[in-house]
Amino acid sequence: MSVLLYEAGASLAYGVLGIVLLVLGYLLVDVLTPGKLHDLVWEHRNRNASLLLSTNLLGVAIIVATAIYVSTGGLAVGLASAAAYGIIGLALMALSFLLIDALTPGKLGEVLTSDETHPAVWVNGSAHIAIALMVAAAIS
């Protein structure tokens, strides 16, 4: 019974950490996007902002899931490593957004708020998933 309680507690702790990192990912996209992300996604149903947010959240999930899967050394070490890798992934995703914005014509923030679906958002979203896979591979 004690093993079950420990494992349930560990699952809860990792779940809470995952939610915190997902919220940080949401806030990161919100900061990088002109206007309020909530309004763009839920009120205006903006596909560009929704795609970027979705790929960011999937990227965070890939990193955190991999960190949990390969964690060793106890719960505290596992949580710390999952948090560290999650933050690294978020920082790299933000950096990729800024680099793509700097190296391509136009402003990516303006593209994200456009009502017309833009291919640049797919490029940025793909970069988020690619970065997540690279960070996940580095963990294992």
Report field, pTM of the whole predicted structure over 0.85? yes
Q: What is the dihedral of CA 20, 26, 31, 33, to 10 degrees?
A: 170
Residues 6+ apart with CB under 8 A from 126: 55
pLDDT digits (tens, 9 = 90+) for 48-70: 999 999 999 999 999 999 988 99
Q: Are 61 and 131 in contact (CB under 8 A)?
A: no
DSSP secondary structure, the chain, as one string: -HHHHHHHHHHHHHHHHHHHHHHHHHHHHHHHSSS-HHIIIIIS--HHHHHHHHHHHHHHHHHHHHHHHH--S-HHHHHHHHHHHHHHHHHHHHHHHHHHHHHSSS-HHHHHH-SS--HHHHHHHHHHHHHHHHHHHHH-
Give the pLDDT of residue 48.
94
Domain ranges of the chain: 2-139
Mean pLDDT value across residues 30-45? 91
Give the pLDDT of residue 112.
84
Confidence of residue 38 (pLDDT cuts 50, 70, 90): very high
Confidence of residue 15 (pLDDT cuts 50, 70, 90): very high
pLDDT digits (tens, 9 = 90+) for 72-127: 888 999 999 999 999 999 999 999 999 998 998 888 888 888 889 999 999 999 99
Give the pLDDT of residue 1.
82
